[in-house]
Structures are given as structure tokens and as C-alpha cells.
């Protein structure tokens, strides 16, 4: 890959150091670019740390190209685990999903048929089989159909970001935490040339990557780019327990549950998210999540609520990622997507290659930034 002029490597500012920014920056750094990570907070501490962090393509069937990109993301995670080591970030083992009403159950089973026709591995088991072979602690009825997706996983996002940024910094990348981007300077020929930070410092650059997650539209505005985003808040609760009673991520009726280490679990629910805009306090959201989790896993009766955060998902207006160059602003690139955990490694690889070689990968054809009108 070409990484700049004969005199110096290409300098790229990565704005936002969640999972997408970390993956793009690490890939750029390993191919010789001069990377500067910039984040108003600390790497991995934003929405990446407050995500359900489920690596999957089973929930991505709205468009075949999006499904295929997510399948590639799953494969890229496995490759990444081999390259940098699984450490404490990578947790394969599959995913479980079941429902408690006939309509939802029929919908899940129909989706499973579609996925199987696309050669995506899915098994239909009973509640009895799941308790006997996979998760003894679950309170799922014995005859209930349970979908098992064996190739899916969950990721500890903050640990993955820390590992990637740490490796990049060891290779010479710069890191500016606790300072926001206030301006992106454009040269007379229309290309990106500088980044000015909130502490008053200025960095000369050849390119910038907008990986600012929920703040991506504000960063885009610095180059007079309109990036429409959805407003979708989500509540994530972490609970503490003496020992985590389950081993994999799951979508149970009314609640999503996954491990988060040896003594912590993560809870989320779209139904409870709907109460956020009604003014419900985070403590009440956490209580409702905790109650729902105990109905699925009775052993959680002795667990306690540790942390709750309402975070805003970084979702472009049409629901799909915005990834790649913006032709009208040479040197400006976007990496903005809701499914950042699943897509991080594949987007990181594809976008780094595009920045360094100028070649656009067909896998990103449906997700280009220019699809949004000026």
C-alpha cells in the first residue's frame, strides 16, 4: 500500500476512538501511516462501552448487501483474534433467541429459514435441549423453540479498543484524549489540511476519518457536510453477581442478556428504551431491566445493579453505515455505523485500504457517504 510521499508517511487524524475509529486507526498504522487518535473522552469509553456488543448477521437481513457486510465482519473478528490474540475482548460461543408469544416466534422462525437459505448457520432447539446442553440456568419453557446461532459472539468493546490503540501507539501513532475537534481546515484546492483542537493546538494532516459516533454529524458540519442521523437513545445496565450464570449472549422475551466478564452482566431491552423519551429516570430503567433478567435467569435474584447509562446510537438516517470518502471534500472520510461492534474489523480494513490506495471496495458500494444529498 502507498502511505504518502517519499519524504514522509501520510498523516491521518482519526476523530473518535470507539471501536470503528480504533479499527481504522490500527489498520492505517500497521501499514505505515502516521496516525493521530483524537477523542473528547478516553478510547473506548463512549458508546462502544455502552453497547450490547453482539457480533452477528442474523439481525441484519433488511438488505442482502448489509447482511453480507456483517458476515464479513464476523469473519474479520475471527481473523483479528488470531492476529492480536483473543485476550479478554473476544467471546465466541453463539447466541440464543426465543419468544413468548406466537407472532414473535413465527417471525423468528421465518427469519431462521431465510438465513439458512443464505448458508448462515442456525439451529432450532427446544428449551429442554438448551438447558441440558448449553445454559442450565435459563428459565425457558421446555417445549419452546430456541434459535441457536453457533457462529455469533459478543465482544468486550472497551478492551478491544484499548488493545488496538495500544498496539498502534507502540508503533508510533499519536493519541490526544480529552480534547475535541473544533475545526477542520480546508486548503484553497478544497482538500483537508489541518485539524484544530479545543485546547487550541493545530495538527497538519493529509486526511481525517470521522468516526465520532453520535457526534459524527457535528464533525461532518466542520467540512460543511450534512450527515443526517437518527435520534435513538438506548439504556444499558450492568449488574454485578458473584458468578455469571450464563456463557453467551441471548435475546430472551423482553430482555437482552450477555456476560461482561467473570462477575458482571449487561442488560438491554428495546421495550424499555421506549420509556426513555417518556422521561423515565435511569434508575427506574435499570430496575425494570433487572426484574426482566431475573424472570429469565432466576439465579440473578442475588445480583445487584452496578451501572446504568443512556447512550445514543450512531445511526445514519436510513439505518445503514456511512463509510468511505466524500468526493466533494478530498481527504475527508466517514466511518459511521450503528453496528460498529460487528463491522469494526472489516470496515477498519476496507477503509484503511481506501485511504492509502484510493481504491473503493465493492463491498461498501451501498454504504457510500455521497448517497445523502448535500
Q: What is the pLDDT along the chain (374 residues), one digit of tens a residue?
A: 445 544 689 999 999 999 999 999 999 999 999 999 999 999 999 999 999 999 999 999 999 999 999 999 999 999 999 999 999 999 999 999 999 999 999 999 999 999 999 999 999 999 999 999 999 999 999 999 999 999 999 999 999 999 999 999 999 999 999 999 999 999 999 999 999 999 999 999 999 999 999 999 999 999 999 999 999 999 999 999 999 999 999 999 999 999 999 999 999 999 999 999 999 999 999 999 999 999 999 999 999 999 999 999 999 999 999 999 999 999 999 999 999 999 999 999 999 999 999 999 999 999 999 999 87
Q: Which residue has the cell 453496528?
A: 339
Q: Which residues contact 71 (CB under 8 A, 6 or more apart)?
A: 57, 120
Classify residue 214 by its DSSP letter: G
pLDDT at 3: 54
- What is the CB-side half-sphere exposure of residue 119 using CA atoms within 13 A? 2
Q: What is the pTM of this model?
A: 0.96
CATH topology for 92-152+230-312 is D-Amino Acid Oxidase; Chain A, domain 2 (3.30.9)
13: left (phi over 0), alpha (psi -120 to 50) or beta: beta
Beta bridge partners of 223: none
- CB distance 330 to 191 below 8 Å: yes
**Helix runs in the chain, H state only:** 19-30, 64-84, 102-117, 127-133, 157-170, 216-221, 270-273, 282-296, 340-357
Query: Can you give the residue ranges of every domain in the chain?
Result: 11-50+157-229+317-371, 92-152+230-312
Sheet with 233-240, edge to edge strand ranges: 123-126, 145-149, 95-97, 249-252, 255-259, 264-268, 233-240, 304-312
Please state which CATH number belongs to domain 11-50+157-229+317-371: 3.50.50.60
Identify the pLDDT of residue 4. 53
Q: What is the pLDDT of residue 2?
A: 43
What angle is formed at CA 161 by the lines to CA 52 and CA 361, rounded to 5 degrees?
A: 90
Question: Same CATH fold, 92-152+230-312 and 11-50+157-229+317-371?
Answer: no
Amino acid at each position: 500500500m502507498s502511505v504518502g510521499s517519499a519524504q514522509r508517511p501520510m498523516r491521518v487524524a482519526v476523530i473518535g476512538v470507539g471501536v470503528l475509529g480504533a479499527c481504522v486507526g490500527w489498520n492505517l498504522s500497521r501499514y505505515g501511516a502516521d496516525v493521530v487518535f483524537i477523542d473528547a473522552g478516553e478510547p473506548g469509553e463512549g458508546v462502544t462501552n455502552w453497547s450490547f456488543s453482539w457480533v452477528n448477521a442474523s439481525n441484519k437481513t433488511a438488505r442482502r448487501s448489509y447482511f453480507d457486510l456483517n458476515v464479513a465482519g464476523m469473519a474479520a473478528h475471527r481473523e483479528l483474534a488470531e492476529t492480536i490474540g483473543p485476550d479478554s475482548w473476544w467471546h465466541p460461543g453463539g447466541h440464543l433467541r426465543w419468544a413468548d408469544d406466537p407472532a414473535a416466534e413465527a417471525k423468528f422462525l421465518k427469519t431462521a429459514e431465510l438465513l439458512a437459505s443464505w448458508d448462515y448457520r442456525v439451529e432450532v432447539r427446544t428449551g429442554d435441549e438448551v438447558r441440558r446442553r448449553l445454559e442450565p440456568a435459563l428459565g425457558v419453557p421446555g417445549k419452546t423453540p430456541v434459535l441457536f446461532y453457533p457462529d455469533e459472539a459478543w465482544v468486550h468493546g472497551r478492551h478491544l479498543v484499548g488493545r488496538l490503540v495500544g498496539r498502534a501507539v507502540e508503533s508510533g501513532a499519536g493519541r490526544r484524549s480529552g480534547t475535541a475537534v473544533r475545526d477542520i481546515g480546508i486548503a484553497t484546492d478544497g482538500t483537508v489540511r489541518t485539524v484544530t483542537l479545543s485546547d487550541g493546538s493545530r495538527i497538519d494532516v493529509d486526511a481525517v476519518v470521522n468516526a465520532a459516533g453520535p457526534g459524527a454529524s457535528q464533525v461532518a458540519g466542520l467540512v460543511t457536510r450534512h450527515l443526517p442521523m437518527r435520534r435513538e437513545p438506548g439504556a444499558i445496565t450492568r449488574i454485578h453477581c458473584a458468578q455469571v450464570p450464563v456463557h453467551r449472549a441471548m435475546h430472551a422475551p423482553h430482555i437482552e442478556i450477555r456476560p461482561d466478564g467473570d462477575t458482571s452482566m449487561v442488560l438491554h431491552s428495546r421495550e424499555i428504551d421506549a420509556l426513555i423519551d417518556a422521561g423515565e429516570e435511569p434508575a427506574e430503567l435499570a430496575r425494570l431491566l433487572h426484574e426482566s433478567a431475573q424472570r429469565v435467569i432466576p439465579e440473578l435474584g442475588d445480583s445487584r445493579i452496578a451501572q446504568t447509562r443512556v447512550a445514543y446510537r450512531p445511526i445514519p438516517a436510513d439505518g445503514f453505515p456511512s463509510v468511505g470518502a466524500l468526493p466533494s471534500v478530498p481527504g475527508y472520510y466517514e466511518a459511521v455505523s450503528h453496528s460498529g461492534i460487528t463491522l469494526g474489523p472489516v470496515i477498519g480494513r476496507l477503509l484503511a485500504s481506501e485511504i492509502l490506495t484510493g481504491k473503493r471496495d465493492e463491498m461498501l458500494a451501498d454504504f457510500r457517504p455521497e448517497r445523502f444529498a448535500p
